[in-house]
């Protein structure tokens, strides 16, 4: 990548402000998936081993600028402390005299974690004073929060105006892996896109139309494409206001000679419930009172047969309501298939909150070429957008 990284700066004896994305899912105060914490370890360990003192900061959830006890970072600090095998001290706030005192006491190799940045409205508003105060805590800024890079917030963008700013190791890994999809990926390059809705995926679908040789759709969003083709889908999730867009995407695919595949059979159920009776039907046989909850076995075979021809595959969005076990077959089949495809030399990249969760749940995440920790950020990156958190970092060569 063309941005400086932690490896390009001397951090020994320096105070380093590390912005990580430790925004993990919580259930009643318990962390249900610690992927993002584990993914942040290499940079933290790298800095500590080199005698930097680290001020670690993140947001958690959406406290909207107010202190919210349910969104304190304490459980994250506890988990981090288990993973690092050392205590992780926390401040009671991201800012203020208490923070300054704690930071002043840091010795080389010490780690201090700030409280949730978003307890301050200035974080998301990218307030200059707030950015300056955060910058005042350190000599160097390291951005390892790829998952937050699509937001210009104080801790991802504002702070870079006041400190030398470099990428962390996770940021570098994400940018390198996703750039590979933008910069001459080995062809054929196929994308498999699912998830709930077309809304939010339109731009990535459009971007992929110019890069991929095939796009395969599944999940709830495929319903809108099927509806655009004239199929009746009962009670299924269909975005009637997106049918025009779905039609446009499909005709653009024809014009660009991109193969566009939709499900030919589906799993249906009367409702989304773990004890719901399921049935497999062709897409022309969805009864009025039923809804599509997964792709069917023929579709799984057709999709995996086609993906087997690809040298590069990008996957975003589950193929069904995978949170319910008997609706997860399509999603799991794609996950297992892609893991095998990697073993055969294919490049497989998975991005998106729920698709990544599915891959993690199945235990095949480390069998993919890359599993992105950034949901929205990875999609925006693939859309070719400039992510403010990345753009703001120091370039490799000083400007001539």
Describe the chain by its helix, strand, coil percentages, rounded to 5. Answer: 40, 15, 45
Does residue 371 belong to the site contacting ligand ADP (CB under 6 A)? no
Does residue 374 belong to the site contacting ligand ADP (CB under 6 A)? no
- Quick check: 174 and 147 in contact, CB under 8 A? no
- Quick check: 331 and 354 in contact, CB under 8 A? no
Dist CA 222 CA 299 (whole Å): 12
Does residue 147 belong to the site contacting ligand ADP (CB under 6 A)? no
Choose the contact partner of 196 out of Mg ion, ligand ADP, none; CB within 5 to 8 A by kind.
Answer: ligand ADP
Question: What is the number of other CB atoms lying within 10 angstroms of the CB of residue 126?
Answer: 18
Phi and psi torsions of 292, nearest 5°: -75, 125
Angle between helices 35-49 and 74-84 (to 10 degrees): 60
When binding is defined by CB under 5 A, the residue of 353, 374, 388, 389 that contacts Mg ion is: 353
Choose the contact partner of 292 out of ligand ADP, Mg ion, none; CB within 5 to 8 A by kind.
Answer: ligand ADP
Residue 176-215 contact track with ligand ADP, rule CB under 6 A, x = bound: -------------------xx-------------------
Choose the contact partner of 168 out of ligand ADP, Mg ion, none; CB within 5 to 8 A by kind.
Answer: none
Phi and psi torsions of 175, nearest 5°: -65, -40
Q: Which is nearer to ligand ADP, 81 or 278 (CB)?
A: 278
Stretch that binds ligand ADP, among 99-107, 257-265, 299-307, 313-321 (CB under 6 A): 313-321
CB of 18 to Mg ion, least distance (A): 26
Residue 232-251 contact track with ligand ADP, rule CB under 6 A, x = bound: -----x--------------
Q: Is 353 a catalytic residue?
A: yes
Q: Is 36 a catalytic residue?
A: yes
- Quick check: 201 and 193 in contact, CB under 8 A? yes
- Quick check: 155 and 21 in contact, CB under 8 A? no
CB burial of residue 179 (10 Å; 0-12, 13-18, 19+): middle
When binding is defined by CB under 5 A, the residue of 354, 357, 379, 390 that contacts Mg ion is: 354
Q: Is 197 a catalytic residue?
A: yes
Task: Please pick, among 218, 353, 374, 375, the residue that the annotation labels catalytic.
Answer: 353
Q: Is 147 a catalytic residue?
A: no
Choose the contact partner of 220 out of Mg ion, ligand ADP, none; CB within 5 to 8 A by kind.
Answer: ligand ADP
Choose the contact partner of 323 out of Mg ion, ligand ADP, none; CB within 5 to 8 A by kind.
Answer: ligand ADP
**What SS3 class is residue 371?**
strand
- Which of 205, 306, 225, 307 shows the shortest CA–CA distance to 266? 225
Q: Which residues are catalytic?
A: 36, 197, 353, 376
Contact footprint for ligand ADP (CB under 6 A): 195-196, 219-220, 237, 292-293, 316-318, 320-321, 323, 352-355, 375
């Amino acid at each position: 990548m063309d941005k400086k990284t932690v490896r390009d700066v001397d951090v020994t004896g320096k105070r380093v402000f590390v912005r990580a994305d430790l925004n993990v899912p919580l259930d009643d105060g318990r962390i249900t998936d610690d992927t993002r914490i584990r993914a942040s370890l290499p940079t933290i360990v790298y800095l500590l081993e080199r005698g930097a003192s680290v001020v670690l900061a993140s947001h958690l959830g959406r406290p909207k600028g107010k202190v919210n006890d349910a969104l304190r970072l304490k459980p994250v600090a506890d988990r981090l402390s288990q993973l690092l095998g050392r205590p992780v001290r926390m401040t009671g706030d991201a800012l203020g005299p208490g923070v300054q005192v704690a930071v002043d006491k840091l010795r080389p190799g010490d780690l201090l974690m700030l409280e949730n940045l978003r307890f301050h409205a200035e974080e998301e508003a990218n307030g200059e004073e707030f950015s300056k105060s955060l910058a005042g805590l350190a000599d160097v800024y390291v951005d390892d929060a790829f998952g937050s890079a699509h937001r210009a917030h104080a801790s991802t963008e504002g702070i870079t105006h006041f400190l030398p700013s470099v990428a962390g190791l996770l940021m570098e890994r994400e940018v390198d892996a996703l750039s590979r999809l933008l910069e001459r990926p080995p062809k054929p390059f196929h994308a498999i896109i699912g998830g709930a809705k077309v809304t939010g995926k339109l731009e990535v679908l459009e971007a992929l139309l110019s890069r991929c040789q095939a796009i395969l759709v599944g999940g709830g969003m495929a319903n809108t494409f099927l509806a655009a083709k004239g199929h009746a889908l009962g009670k299924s999730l269909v975005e009637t206001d997106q049918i025009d867009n779905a039609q446009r995407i499909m005709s653009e695919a024809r014009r660009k000679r991109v193969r566009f595949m939709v499900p030919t059979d589906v799993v249906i159920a009367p409702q989304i419930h773990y004890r719901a009776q399921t049935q497999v039907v062709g897409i022309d046989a969805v009864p009025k009172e039923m809804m599509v909850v997964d792709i069917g076995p023929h579709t799984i075979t057709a999709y995996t047969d086609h993906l087997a021809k690809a040298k590069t595959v990008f996957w975003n969005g589950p193929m069904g309501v995978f949170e319910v076990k008997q609706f997860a077959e399509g999603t799991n089949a794609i996950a297992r298939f892609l893991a095998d495809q990697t073993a055969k030399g294919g490049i497989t990249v998975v991005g998106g909150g729920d698709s990544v969760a599915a891959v993690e749940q199945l235990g095949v995440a480390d069998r993919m070429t890359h599993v992105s920790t950034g949901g929205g950020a990875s999609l925006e990156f693939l859309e070719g957008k400039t992510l403010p958190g990345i753009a703001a970092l120091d370039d490799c060569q000083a400007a001539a």
